[in-house]
Amino acid sequence: MAGFVLDYVVFDSPLGWIVVGAGTEGISMAAFLGAQQPGGELAEPAIRDEYPEALPRPAEGQGFAAEARQYIFDYLTRGRPIPEIPLDVRKGTDFDRRVWRAISEIPFGQTRSYGQVALAAGRPSAARAAGRACGRNPVPIIVPCHRVVGSGGKLGGYSGGLEIKRALLDLEKRSRGAPMQ
């Protein structure tokens, strides 16, 4: 694949610094960068980890990346669900994409097991493969793989780390005012 421009924004949040990148059709990536304030020296390598062919370009406060930044910030600070955002994800297998669609259907404040997600993606015996697809999700806040847990409720993994996964689940639980399902 030829190189493509990926406009990005970097911002601070209650869970640390985040980079959001957007292609021409929508959001291509969102990644946690850690607690220390990053500059382009951390954001651009994170982008290239996700899309080696990308040509990172700082966004000027407009476009898909800036819009997603506001939605993510409102989610993390006010507990507002992130609305449907156009995606421009340029990676993943057919199964990965089916898993990501199934994850996108999990309601705010609820969880599903890896097995339930595999079933929804059309491969009921592929719970581990569904877990791997979660790990490859380039937009983990927007396609909320933090809502996917082990069959016994065990957290499993998360690209941002288990502390962030737990914080996101707790945020949704508090925002809903109801126990997680």
For residue range 30-56, list pLDDT tens digits in order: 999 987 776 666 788 999 999 999 999
User: What is the tens place of the pLDDT at every residue in 123-132?
Assistant: 999 999 999 9
Task: Supply the pLDDT for residue 106.
Answer: 97
State the CATH architecture for 4-78.
2-Layer Sandwich (3.30)
Q: Any idea where the domains of the chain sit in the sequence?
A: 4-78, 94-176
Q: At residue 179, does pLDDT exceed 50?
A: no
Taking residues 78-101, what's their average pLDDT? 95
145 has catalytic annotation? yes
pTM of the model: 0.90
Same fold, 4-78 and 94-176: no
Instruction: Tally the residues of the chain.
Output: 181
Active-site position among 18, 46, 72, 145? 145
* Burial of 106: CB neighbours in 10 Å, binned 0-12, 13-18, 19+: buried
State the CATH architecture for 94-176.
Orthogonal Bundle (1.10)
Cross-strand pairs, 7: 22, 57
Mean per-residue pLDDT over the chain, rounded:
91
